């Protein structure tokens, strides 16, 4: 039996919401990351020697990791447990 249009729509909506839940932290990190958060040494004027991370950079990274883990766990829960 196929699914009706309404459940197919909500399934696609939940998939897009889960993608947004994973992508939004990446976008926020890219837009609002402090200068101290140069993970790969690619910022303009960055030296070869790594500088210690500032408190703001550590905070932004912690928030990013927390949102990424929460989003991934939520998606996995929805995908494997709640979609049956």
Please state the domain extents for the chain. Answer: 5-39+51-82
pLDDT of residue 1: 44
**DSSP at 80:** I
DSSP three-state, residue 39: coil
Alpha helices, H only, the chain: 5-32, 55-76
**What does pTM read for this prediction?**
0.43
- pLDDT range class, residue 11, cuts 50, 70, 90: confident
What are the pLDDT digits (tens) for 13-67?
Answer: 777 777 777 777 777 776 666 665 655 555 555 555 566 778 888 888 888 888 8
């Amino acid at each position: 039996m196929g699914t009706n249009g309404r459940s197919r729509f909500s399934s696609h909506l939940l998939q897009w919401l889960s993608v947004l839940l994973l992508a939004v932290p990446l976008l926020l990190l890219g837009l609002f990351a402090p200068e101290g958060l140069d993970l790969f040494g690619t910022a303009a004027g960055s030296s070869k020697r790594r500088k210690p991370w500032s408190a703001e950079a550590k905070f932004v990274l912690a928030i990013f990791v927390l949102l990424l883990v929460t989003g991934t766990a939520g998606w996995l829960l929805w995908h494997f447990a709640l979609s049956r």
